[in-house]
């Protein structure tokens, strides 16, 4: 039994060193990633969309995402990288919509690139790794209300405007990614990223003047998050 455990330990050590050696071979100093993701709305914003008679569908949660990645020690290659990610929804910036949902988020990311392998005649490795992120997200739901468009009615409640409600949340995510090399000088890699974690409302829902919305305490404040992200590395 002891010999079996010792042998298993030696195999695990060799496997770990092998993965580390692969990681050092494909780690880069820094990288810029641009792409699309689908953000997860909070229960508060889902509830307000129901009150507005709207629906937060995939189109409304589709978002532009930017990620900056660099080695933990910029002067030395390593299997661990860190960085940050910014994302914001797209559909809420389009006109001609009576109901809007929007979100902007920012996270700090920590990544571990574990396995690299080639398929066929690939000159660079496919990379598999995992990581974690923590950050904040600010959501808003807007509904066009009122009937007037006359200047004399500007100070009246029936002048057309958007009722807006906001929600500030904290998020913690575990990420699994798969990076595929592309034979292009300016766009050398494509990455698929799956994220799963927990979100928590830290303040909200609240109005544009930061005043809390009343009679809205029964909505779940802790919720699951699941995101799919596709990005392209861009070399300037």
Residue 140's pLDDT is 94
| pTM for this entry | 0.83
Model confidence band, residue 233 (pLDDT cutoffs 50, 70, 90): very high
Residue 95: pLDDT above 90?
no
Higher pLDDT, 82 or 2: 82
Residue 20's pLDDT is 47
Residue 76's pLDDT is 67
What is the β-pairing status of strands 99-117 and 161-181? unpaired
Residue 28's pLDDT is 58
Average pLDDT, the chain: 85
Higher pLDDT, 209 or 80: 209
Residue 87: pLDDT above 90?
yes
Mean pLDDT for 47-73 is 89
Residue 18: pLDDT above 80?
no
Which DSSP string do the residues of 24-60 spell out, in sequence order? Answer: HHH--SEEEEEEEEE----HHHHHHHHHTT----HHH
CA atoms within 13 A on the CB side of 34: 6
Residue 21's pLDDT is 47
Q: What is the pLDDT of residues 208-221, one digit of tens each?
A: 999 998 877 778 89
Specify whether the CB–CB gap between 141 and 127 falls below 8 A: no
Phi, psi for residue 93 in degrees, rounded to 5: -95, -5
Model confidence band, residue 121 (pLDDT cutoffs 50, 70, 90): confident
Mean pLDDT for 143-169 is 86
Q: What is the pLDDT of residues 99-117, one digit of tens each?
A: 999 999 999 999 988 887 8
Model confidence band, residue 9 (pLDDT cutoffs 50, 70, 90): low
CA atoms within 13 A on the CB side of 152: 0
């Amino acid at each position: 039994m002891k010999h079996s455990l010792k042998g298993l330990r030696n195999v695990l050590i060799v496997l770990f060193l092998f993965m580390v050696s692969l990681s050092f071979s494909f780690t880069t100093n820094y990288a810029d990633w641009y792409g699309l993701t689908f953000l997860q709305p909070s229960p508060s914003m889902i509830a307000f969309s129901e009150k507005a008679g709207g629906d937060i569908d995939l189109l409304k949660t589709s978002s532009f995402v930017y990620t900056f990645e660099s080695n933990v020690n910029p002067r030395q290659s390593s299997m661990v990288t860190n960085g940050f990610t910014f994302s914001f929804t797209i559909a809420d910036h389009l006109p001609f919509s009576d109901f809007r949902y929007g979100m902007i988020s920012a996270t700090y990311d920590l990544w571990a690139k574990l396995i690299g392998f080639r398929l066929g005649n690939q000159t660079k490795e496919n990379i598999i790794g995992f990581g974690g992120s923590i950050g904040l997200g600010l959501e808003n739901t807007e509904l066009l209300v009122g009937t007037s468009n006359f200047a004399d009615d500007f100070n009246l409640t029936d002048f057309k405007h958007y009722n807006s409600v906001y929600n500030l949340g904290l998020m913690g995510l575990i990420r699994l990614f798969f990076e595929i090399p592309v034979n292009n000088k300016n766009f050398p890699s494509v990455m698929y990223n799956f994220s799963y974690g927990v979100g928590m409302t830290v303040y909200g829902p609240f109005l544009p003047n930061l005043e809390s919305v009343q009679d809205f305490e029964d909505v779940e404040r802790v919720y699951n998050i699941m995101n799919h992200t596709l990005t392209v590395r861009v070399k300037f």
